[in-house]
């Protein structure tokens, strides 16, 4: 990661994605007018290989997103012992894509690599005894059938923290579901968002990607998730790789 950011041109690209996420190669190339488009592509490949940038392809267009997870992991390793680690709002995102159109794309993406099998990562997603260790102390509840509820409760199971519905599921590689936060009235009032969690095996590791849809970029859910999801993803990684969850963030 440090090698990836040790270049002025690549830092310009990261700053641009921080200001406005989901940009194309054409948009990013305009920021480096003295460089060929191929040169910009090479810089983006280096950033992607360091997991600082993730991509999503729609038709012939490829959209680039800033990924805060590796930065969060650096903080967890060397900073959190001195101060509570927080990921600031990562990006000022573009307006959400219109629902139901062919150009639908994520409002944001989070991605990390975990030294664990796809089956182990999937188990961490669907097992309440595991989610309670990294998902802010909550237990997931579902029978994992399309159309069934997918809810999170507090650790004791006595209070509903969020509610949702399984939209599609393909164990152990992909699940899509709605998610309505219930712990804050402002978040609940915004209505359900949609999440896609997908897992791929790459070089003996699992690549976990989370895509967010159907939320306003200036709304309370986006602001809450910008900080919360990096902690959840980092916590899952820590649990699966070391057997120890991250300390509570509050």
Q: Is 86 a domain residue?
A: no
- Per-residue confidence (pLDDT) for residue 247, from 0 to 100: 85
What confidence category does residue 149 fall into, taking pLDDT thresholds of 50, 70 and 90? Answer: very high
219 shares a domain with 124: yes
What confidence category does residue 79 fall into, taking pLDDT thresholds of 50, 70 and 90? Answer: low
Q: List, in sequence order, every residue forming a beta bridge with 209; answer none if it has no partner.
A: 111, 198
- Per-residue confidence (pLDDT) for residue 216, from 0 to 100: 85
What confidence category does residue 63 fall into, taking pLDDT thresholds of 50, 70 and 90? Answer: very high
pTM, whole model, 2 decimals?
0.62
Q: Is 12 a domain residue?
A: yes
End-to-end Cα separation, the chain, in angstroms:
28
**pLDDT(86) > 60:** no
What confidence category does residue 215 fall into, taking pLDDT thresholds of 50, 70 and 90? Answer: confident
Q: Which of 148, 150, 147 has the alpha carbon at shortest distance from 139?
A: 150
133 shares a domain with 241: yes
What confidence category does residue 222 fall into, taking pLDDT thresholds of 50, 70 and 90? Answer: confident
- What does the alpha-carbon distance between residue 158 and residue 147 come to, in Å, rounded to a whole number? 23
Instruction: Write the DSSP assignment of 97-158 as a string of letters.
Output: PPTTSTT---SEEEEEEESS-HHHHHHHHH-HHHHHHHSTT-EEE----TT-B-EEE-TTS-
Q: Which of 93, 54, 82, 56 has the alpha carbon at shortest distance from 70?
A: 54
Instruction: Supply the CATH number for residue 13's domain.
Output: 1.10.10.10
Distance of CA 243 to the CA centre of its chain: 22
117 shares a domain with 58: no
Q: What is the pLDDT of residues 23-37, one digit of tens each?
A: 999 999 999 999 999
- What does the alpha-carbon distance between residue 238 and residue 175 come to, in Å, rounded to a whole number? 21
**pLDDT(120) > 90:** yes
Domain total of the chain: 2
- Residue 221 is part of which domain span? 106-250
What confidence category does residue 58 fall into, taking pLDDT thresholds of 50, 70 and 90? Answer: confident
Q: Is 83 a domain residue?
A: no
- Per-residue confidence (pLDDT) for residue 78, from 0 to 100: 62
**pLDDT(84) > 60:** no
Q: What is the pLDDT of residues 98-113, one digit of tens each?
A: 334 333 688 888 899 9
**pLDDT(73) > 90:** no
**pLDDT(55) > 70:** yes
10 shares a domain with 61: yes
Instruction: Provide the 10 A C-beta neighbour count for residue 52.
Output: 23
Q: What is the pLDDT of residues 168-177, one digit of tens each?
A: 999 999 999 9
């Amino acid at each position: 990661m440090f090698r990836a950011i040790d270049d002025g041109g690549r830092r310009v690209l990261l700053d641009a994605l921080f200001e406005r996420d989901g940009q194309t190669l054409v948009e990013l190339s305009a920021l480096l007018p003295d460089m060929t488009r191929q040169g910009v592509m090479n810089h983006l490949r280096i950033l992607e290989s360091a997991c600082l940038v993730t991509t999503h392809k729609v038709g012939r267009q490829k959209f680039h997103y800033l990924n805060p997870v590796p930065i969060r992991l650096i903080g967890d390793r060397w900073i959190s012992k001195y101060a509570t680690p927080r990921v600031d709002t990562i990006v000022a995102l573009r307006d959400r894509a219109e629902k139901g159109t062919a150009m639908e794309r994520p409002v944001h993406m989070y991605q990390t690599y975990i030294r664990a099998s796809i089956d182990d990562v999937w188990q961490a997603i669907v097992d309440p005894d595991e989610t309670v260790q990294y998902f802010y102390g909550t237990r997931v509840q579902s029978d994992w059938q399309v159309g069934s509820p997918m809810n999170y409760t507090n650790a004791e199971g006595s209070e509903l923290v969020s509610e949702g519905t399984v939209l599609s599921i393909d164990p152990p590689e992909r699940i899509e579901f709605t998610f309505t936060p219930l712990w804050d009235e402002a978040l609940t009032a915004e209505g359900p968002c949609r999440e896609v969690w997908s897992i791929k095996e790459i070089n003996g590791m699992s690549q976990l990607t989370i895509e967010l849809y159907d939320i306003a970029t200036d709304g309370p859910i986006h602001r809450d998730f910008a900080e919360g999801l990096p902690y959840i993803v980092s916590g899952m990684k820590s649990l699966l790789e070391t057997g120890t969850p991250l300390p509570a963030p509050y």
